[in-house]
Amino acid sequence: MALIAALQMAAGPNVPANLMEAGRLIKEAAARGARMVVLPETFAMMGADEADRVKIAETFGDGPIQTFISQQAIKYGVWIVAGTIPIRSEDPAKSYAASILYDAKGKVVARYDKIHLFDVELSENHEVYTESDTTMPGHQPVVVDTPFGKLGLSVCYDLRFPELYRRLSEQGAQILVIPAAFTELTGKAHWDVLIRARAIENLCYVIAPGQGGYHVSGRTTYGHSMIVDYWGRVRDVREKGAGVVLADIDLDALEQTRKTFPVLSHRCPTQTITEGTS
């Protein structure tokens, strides 16, 4: 078994202050025995405007945010999933929302660029989000081997698209990582049920760290960072404010459940279902 931590933050517009807070939480998680630490989406900045993140975008492999995370991994001997870091794209007006995995030696092991972008209007409170104005979408699902199991990477709004998680589990994922910054409105309605659904339907652990609190943009994020097991059981949760969520990942128990409850092997391709309909 391995202890994994999800970190909850309420990031603001000041990058050094956010990194200091991330470092404090990484230190706490490591002191409590975590071997892998997962940061929330946009952990380095939640600015007054979405375009603020483009201004701090870094070249992949070089920049103060990436250097900081690499150094933290080395300092505490932990693997780190850096929620999202803005990485420069070919369009100077847009950056990738890149979730980057570092090993305990500070080396980049994998990078996933957020595929689904949050372009919605929440009519109940007139919040409008057009993430595609400032973010370049990714296109490639990512599953990576780690000492703790096969990790399937995703980010926030991806959570609403079960076909992505089917792809990840088909590629062998045992742990789904979903750093997020869910709004208060959508979080209250859907966060818990979607997290548990992704865990249950794919027989995977889900590590879901979030932003949780009030931000200078006027936005309030839902928080409720949680770790859920393959049976949909919430192993730990934090509702609001900065803090650490911890749980053991037991791959032996997961694989035993997959053998005795072989739902993953019972999947029927859509074509088969269509052909079988009279």
Active-site residue, selected from the candidate residues 21, 50, 114, 131: 114
Beta strands at 175-177 and 205-208: parallel, antiparallel or unpaired: parallel
Q: Determine the average pLDDT of the residues in 50-74.
A: 96
Instruction: Give me the count of residues in the chain.
Output: 278
Q: Return the structure tokens found at 113.
A: 């660029």
The domains of the chain, with CATH numbers, are 2-275 (3.60.110.10)
Q: Would you say residue 115 has pLDDT above 50? A: yes
pLDDT of residue 156: 97
Is there a catalytic annotation at residue 41? yes
Q: Look up residue 35 and give its DSSP letter.
A: S
Higher pLDDT pick, 97 / 267:
97
Name the active-site residue from 21, 58, 131, 156.
Answer: 156
Q: Tell me how far apart the alpha carbons of residues 61 and 91 are, in angstroms, rounded to a whole number.
A: 18
Instruction: Specify the pTM.
Output: 0.94
- 98/240 Cα distance (integer angstroms): 25
pLDDT above 80 (res 164): yes
User: What is the three-class DSSP state of 76?
Assistant: helix
Per-residue pLDDT for 271 more than 80? no
Instruction: Specify whether 156 is catalytic.
Output: yes
**pLDDT tens for each residue of 175-196:** 999 999 999 999 999 999 999 9
pLDDT digits (tens, 9 = 90+) for 258-269: 999 999 999 887
Residues 52 and 13: their CA atoms lie apart, in Å, by 8
**What pLDDT is attached to residue 60?**
98
Q: Which of 21, 41, 50, 131 is catalytic?
A: 41
